A and B are shown apart, each in its own frame.
Chain A
Amino acid sequence: MTRGLTSRSWQLLLLLAAAIMLVAVACSDSDDDPTAAPTASDGDGDGTPAATETAAPDPGDLTEEQVLRVRLEGEPGSLDPQRATDTDSIAILRQLYAGLLRLDEDQVIQADLAEEVPTVENGGISADGLTYTFRLQDGLMWSDGEPLVAQAFVDGAKRLFEPGSANFYADFYRVLAAGGAQGELSTALADGLEGDDLRPFEEAVVSGLEVSAPDDRTVVYQLNAQSPIFPLLATLWPVYPIRQDIVDAAGDAWTEAGTVVTNGPFALTSWNHDEDLGLTKNEFSHRTVLLDEISIDIIPDSAVAFLAYQEDELDINKLGPEELVQVRGSDLVDEFVNYAQLVTIGWYFNFDDPILQDVNVRKALAAGVVREEYSEVVREGAVLPAYGWVPPGMPGHDAEVGMEYKDNLEQAKTWLADAGFPDGDGLELEILGADSSVGVQRDEWLQEQWETNLGITVTIKTLDRATYFEERNLGNFQITTGGWGADYPDPQNWLPLFLTGAGLNAGNFSNTDFDALVIAADSELDNDVRLDLYAQAQTIMIDDLAFAPLYYNGRQILVKPWVQGLVPSSMESNSPGDLFFDQVFVEGRE
């Protein structure tokens, strides 16, 4: 037993070291990687723009008004950590809350509320890899001054699995459920039980949840299987601590300003729905926060936002394609920053459609578009052409996958002819789209590419958002565009999305080899083996065209010169630099 533990603990140590190294290497890899994002205008060549060079000052030295004015494009869907799914909400949650761990600018896991990152060495991870013990720092408090105790994390985890809530991100944390209870719930679901019938199973999951707080400063997560990425999961918002007493008292409205109590760098002082949000420095935050206030305006129209930025009413603004062109050759060039995002956009094929079931048709379509034209001419360098699913800048990216669809128009035509549509005669396809100007433009470009390069007939059908998702979920489409953005920088966040029956898998792609590889990788502890399994899976999914990638997204922003310490990141949410707003300060606004 003892010998087993020793070799096991070696493995785990190696695993963790490898994980950290891999993440670090992947980031610096983007130097040499020709498909890496272009550097920022003040860049130092490492693929992500350097944080502005000034050293962090002492809060006492700051003389100017420390207010940051930023923008969101839409109302946050929910400021409930266990329920939020949209990036506007997550951007705010990152300011309001702090978790046990967080990722730093180099995507390395650091301790946040915990004293240190748990490892096998420091006893934070048990030898069998199933128990994670976090020791909280001393003196942690909520924004109302109440002490933050470990129970708050238990409350958060339990809430994630609240019976009847069916929270999307609960799926990510299934490792926390007691194995037996989880299995029975899955069986019940598979048996078609629903609603109230499921309740006893769900309650069993919650009561069997292996999260506990043996004392006020210790949080223990008991996993039902080894999970190589659990530390990454501990950095995310669904396991943020919550004030159960406030949830109990206020019900669904507990997230409103004036009611909610949080523990992050900022507190929510005002929330005028659809209008603006006001965050102020949380005096009780354990992090050093330099800003006094963040004022967030909800501005859906990008032309108006651009005007507001030019009138100094916004300090940071994202640029759309039209604004980008206007920035060229103007003074604003000095305020421009460009960086990659861990986002891949492309289109799904509906595998239930008889025409698209022929792999030759899919391959022809995938090779029948010149991605470089889209990224270079239509989007003018704001995005990068994509041939793989996992984007560059994170582990799991494969620069070689999908190359058969590059510069291969002749082959595309051959494939089409093999499928029985010589010169595209007789093939009529429909792209299903929802409203959105960038989306429509993309669909129109695809349509034109296929009609010109392959000679087929393509129509575009647009629907309002709700009808679109209904039709998409029902599988009433042939081709529809979409994609994914990373929740955390690991292929485990990307590949399982195409498992048979998965939620994002709108086209019903199903490949047993793929499923087997992904499921095996899920519990594989050897990082090299794990990444290799994911690589094989990605190759299958691209060869088989579960998804046809089009571009990797980038972000282009303008930042006022008086904003210091901004750290744009490829992992951020909808507000540029939002992962590290606690490092921002204002100097030189005059």
Chain B
Amino acid sequence: MARYLFTRTIESIVTLFFIALTTFLLMHTVPGGPFESLAGERGVSQEFVDTQEAYYGLDDPLPIQFAKYLGNLVRGDLGISFDQRGQRVTDLIADKFKPSLILGLMSFTIVLTIGVPVGVLSAVRRNSAIDYASLGISTALAAVPSFVLAFILLLIFSVWLEWFPVRLGKGFGDSFSSLGNGILPALALGAPAMALLSRLTRGAMLEVLDQDYVRTARAKGLANRTVYWRHALRNALIPVLTLMGPLFAGLVTGSIIIESIFGLPGIGAAFISSVLARDYGMIMGTTMLFATLIVFANFLVDLAYPLVDPRVRLS
């Protein structure tokens, strides 16, 4: 086990290195740079671009730039942002990650605590009204784009019911009481995942409920409840567990649409706008953050497989 942990950690670091490398190369191959579009239509002089590039060290050969970046990275320095002049990437990311993290965790909780039980319920009461209702709702949640859903939530809860302000992102995360405002965006963010998870759980439960050892267990006379919840659920959780990795990483990274509509500028918007503005420091920073999340999350998932299904052995 210790050996497994050790080798996995090494692998993770190597993986992160490759992600950094490929992102770095891709970033510098894409046309357009951080300075050409600063003045918009007025255009910038080549002199301006050259001076800025020299100032930020962008005229060094790529391998040297990459080496410098890695060197700074291990010391926790992610560089400076070109888009937000004078701001350190580390500060910017920390600033934007905080609301994203809180929102992502809220969303993750909602998705799991609603999605999985609903799926189980649908499987257990197959073809009943509950089953069809939940199928219908999950379809609606998945087939409607997130900004429409977000806007509908705003209309209902902020305009019609006035339970929340329209600008509920203001001050989110700064105080405990502001967390309540996160419910709407958390719902909107997690809706498609909730739909997916409930259908997945339902399908996996259905398969398992028909399996032999369930019938065997019932034949042995265990109470219905125990049959369902212990044997069936455990196996049905494998695909759910697999998805928890990307789900967690995805929810915490957020979505630029949700962030934009609810006024919660987080990592999602930061990544997209950094790509569009070719803000190299921020692109690398947000990508490495996301990469770390996913690698770590998948690591945990792999460790958790044997817990859910004892038959699975770690590599």
Chain A residues with a Cβ under 8 A of chain B: 75, 77-78, 80, 83, 85-86, 164-166, 168, 189, 194-196, 198, 251-256, 273-276, 297-301, 303-304, 307-308, 310-311, 313, 464-471, 473, 482-484, 503-504, 506
Contact = CB atoms under 8 A, between A and B. Distances in A.
B261 A313 contact: no
Interface string B257-300: 00011010100011000001110000000000000000000000
A273 B87 contact: yes
A471 B48 CA distance: 17
A304 B47 contact: no
B50 A299 contact: no
A335 B43 CA distance: 38
Interface stretch (B158-166, B207-215, B307-315): B158-166
B265 A274 contact: yes
B85 interface: yes
- Of all A-B residue pairs in the complex, the 9 with the closest CB atoms, nearest first, are A252-B86, A503-B43, A166-B48, A466-B32, A274-B265, A253-B86, A469-B37, A470-B32, A308-B166
Contact of A503 (B39, B155, B162): B39
B70 interface: no
Contact of A297 (B38, B50, B263): B263
A523 to B, nearest CB: 23
Contacts of B276: 464-466
B40 A311 contact: no
Nearest to B95: A273
Given A252-B86, A299-B167, A466-B276, A166 B36 contact: no
Given A252-B85, A467-B31, A470-B31, A273 B92 contact: yes
Interface in B1-48: 30-33, 36-48
22 contacts: A85-B38, A166-B48, A194-B46, A195-B47, A195-B51, A195-B54, A274-B265, A297-B167, A298-B263, A301-B260, A303-B151, A304-B263, A307-B155, A307-B166, A308-B167, A311-B165, A466-B32, A466-B36, A469-B32, A469-B37, A469-B40, A506-B41
A482 B42 CA distance: 10
Contacts of A506: 41, 43
Nearest to A348: B41
Interface residues of B, number: 50
Contact of B263 (A165, A252, A299, A468): A299
Between A253, A273, A483, the greatest number of chain B beta carbons within 10 A of the residue's beta carbon is seen for A273
B44 A503 contact: yes
B36 A470 contact: yes
A238 to B, nearest CB: 13
Interface in B229-271: 260-261, 263, 265, 269-270
Contact of A313 (B48, B95, B167, B265): B167
B47 A313 contact: no
Given A168-B44, A465-B37, A466-B276, 11 more contacts: A77-B38, A166-B47, A304-B261, A465-B276, A466-B32, A466-B33, A473-B36, A473-B43, A503-B39, A504-B42, A506-B43
A189 B167 contact: no
Contacts of B278: 466
A310 B158 CA distance: 11
A254 B86 contact: yes
A505 to B, nearest CB: 8
A253 B86 CA distance: 5
B178 interface: no
Given A194-B46, A303-B151, A256 B40 contact: no
B170 interface: yes
Contact of B40 (A83, A86, A164, A276): A86
B165 A256 contact: no
A304 B162 CA distance: 15
A189 B154 CA distance: 55
A23 to B, nearest CB: 25
B38 to A, nearest CB: 7
A288 B63 CA distance: 57
Nearest to A74: B273
A334 B66 CA distance: 59
B115 interface: no
A307 B154 CA distance: 9
Contacts of B169: 275
Contacts of A465: 37, 276-277
B47 A307 contact: no
A519 to B, nearest CB: 19
B84 interface: yes
B37 A168 contact: no
A482 B41 contact: yes
Contacts of B42: 85, 168, 503-504
A313 B165 contact: yes
Contacts of B170: 275-276, 297
Contacts of A299: 167, 263
B308 to A, nearest CB: 40
B263 A275 contact: yes
Given A196-B54, A469-B36, A273 B166 contact: no
B176 interface: no
Nearest to B164: A311
Contacts of A297: 167, 170, 263
Interface string B147-183: 0000100110011001001110110000000000000
A297 B32 CA distance: 30
A466 B37 contact: yes
Between B43, B45, B260, the greatest number of chain A beta carbons within 10 A of the residue's beta carbon is seen for B43
Contacts of A254: 86
Contacts of A308: 166-167
A7 B50 CA distance: 48
Contact of A310 (B47, B92, B159): B159
B86 A256 contact: yes
A549 B37 CA distance: 23
B262 to A, nearest CB: 8
Nearest to A75: B84
B41 A164 contact: no
B86 A311 contact: no
A468 B31 CA distance: 9
Nearest to B80: A252
A391 to B, nearest CB: 16
A251 B50 contact: no
A349 to B, nearest CB: 15
Contacts of B158: 307, 311
A78 B263 contact: no
A255 B260 contact: no
Contacts of A251: 86
B190 to A, nearest CB: 20
